[in-house]
Amino acid sequence: MNIRLRQSPELPGKADLEARACIVLALADKPARWPRSLPWRASILHHYQLLNKPEVGTLTLPQARGIPLSYTVLAADSPPFVRLERARRLVAAHHARRPGDMALVLAGYSPAEGLMVAEALLSAALASAAPLPNFRKDHRPSRLTRLYLYGHSEPDGFRRSFCEAEGNALARRLAMLPGNQLSPADYLSQLRELAAVHDWQLKFMDEAALARRGAGAFLSVSAGSAHRDAGIAHLQYRPARRRRRRVALVGKGICYDTGGVNLKPARYMYGMHADMQGSAVALGTLLALSRLQVDFPVDCWLALARNDIGPNASVPNDVVTAVDGTTIEVVHTDAEGRMVLADTLALARRTRGLALLLDYATLTGACVQALGSGYSGVFSNRAEWLPALLAAGRNCGERIWPFPMDADYDRNLESDIADVKQCSLRGDADHILAARFLSRFVGDVPWIHLDLSASSCKGGLAHIPTELTGFGVRLSLHVLLDSVLNDI
């Protein structure tokens, strides 16, 4: 993304705005307190009253060569999610005209409030400009390359927001690629390019390497594919001067999920090219952390496979052995995410000095049923973290909701023939059973599991304008960089 930002702590003059292709305006308060020096104040006020105080108003400024302006009155204490949603709608008002530049204007906020509102507007503008796959003949990508912020200025030029936007855009770009354009092999070649550019180490354990390690859970999923390109990618970011704590990010990367021999019906299979979004979010988070040059090492483990149907595909009642020796009875081949993650988590937890293991997966329909697509589910083997994680979701605008994972849920996973069942055919609380299943492979390492029910949301979510949201990059940066958890 090649977007430049110019900032000014002052309100713009008319001449400043007349040079812009479009204007986004956030006003702190009721009209009586709108700054007198706000350009076209009377026109905007007239429009605001005429339309009976719209949440988002759009007008064309006749005095200013017909420049389009979108505006909102947004109280500084609005919840962060509302702030981001409003920012998305303000920016979306200009989308069809494909502006090359955009003025972001804040009026009436204190410096601390201005920072939060500016961050929302900027994040929405960056999210809207992300170059994303589209194969239509008439597709015309965003032309936005310059942003002009008035009414607030940050010394570092919002570096973190830019890095976060880049990470989120990477996650969405990969998730949007159709299955025939992002096989595990394609994914790996993209990882090789990224690793070269960003100076990450990359190791790839292919099926043969995984067989040597005894990763039978992972291999029970990849066995159905006609291609032998599945495997676990391990990327490492190493800072020049490192702190001792290490963080591992783990992601589910099922490049297409047919369900396997328990084949999905059409309605539920459509969209399953995005069943790798957990891995893309882990990767996007790695990219953002690496661009920010954080001072702690980050390991990123991506489980890349397709869940296909074929002569070698697993069937229910198969018993397989995971990398840590746990025997698993296969119950439903569409519960493949927890199988590939079992081995990947078991490998990732062996990292020495691990302060946090964080995994991301589009794991269960049960989580979507419980929360819809506006929230993602969060689980942890450190129950005392859950209040802080709930608050973290609220504060950054990528909202998460905690679920219990008490040990007695395990009675649903008892098998007569193996250590554990993969899942239960009863289907209730499957998101909790999946988390219980995964927890076996994590042991006592501090662990957070995100079931990404908010990975796909019609009409976009928060500041993100696309249905596939890349949910999790923003949340992860907040959790990892803003002292959300005392012990991390």
Which residues are near Zn ion by CB under 5 A? Answer: 257, 334, 336
Residue 63 exposed, middle or buried by CB count within 10 Å (0-12, 13-18, 19+): exposed
SS3 label, residue 247: strand
Backbone angles phi, psi at 262, to 5 degrees: -85, 65
Distance CA 488, CA 477 (A): 13
What distances in angstroms separate CA 73 from CA 86, 93, 105, 378, one per listed residue?
A: 10, 15, 12, 33
Distance between CA 13 and CA 124 in Å, rounded?
24
Nearest distance in Å: CB 177, Zn ion? 18
- Polymer length of the chain: 488
Q: How far is the CB of 259 from Zn ion (least distance, A)?
A: 6
Distance CA 86, CA 217 (A): 44
Tokens of 374: 């506006």
* Terminal Cα distance for the chain, rounded: 31
- What is the smallest separation between the CB atom of 360 and Zn ion, expressed in angstroms? 15
CB nearer Zn ion, residue 113 or residue 336: 336
Instruction: Establish whether 421 is a catalytic residue.
Output: no
CA separation for the pair 402, 396 (Å, rounded) = 16
Nearer to Zn ion, 218 or 296 (CB): 218
Q: 426 is written with which tokens?
A: 């009863």
* Residue 276 Cβ vs Zn ion, minimum distance, rounded to whole Å: 12
Cβ atoms within 10 Å of 292's Cβ, excluding its own = 17
- Per-position b or e across 331-340, b if 16+ CB within 10 A of its CB: bbbbbbbbbb
Q: Choosing from 238, 245, 264, 291, which is the catalytic residue?
A: 264
Name the residue nearer to Zn ion (CB basis): 166 or 334.
Answer: 334
Smallest gap from Cβ 283 to Zn ion, in A, equals 20
Query: Which residue among the candidates 338, 349, 421, 440 is catalytic per the annotation?
Result: 338
Residue number with CB closer to Zn ion (144 or 423)? 423
Closest approach of Zn ion to the CB of residue 335, in Å: 6
**Known active-site residue 264:** yes
Q: Tell me which residue has its CB nearest to Zn ion.
A: 334
DSSP H/E element including 378: strand 376-380
Q: Which is nearer to Zn ion, 261 or 292 (CB)?
A: 261
Residue whose CB is less far from Zn ion, 272 or 281: 272
Catalytic residue numbers? 264, 338
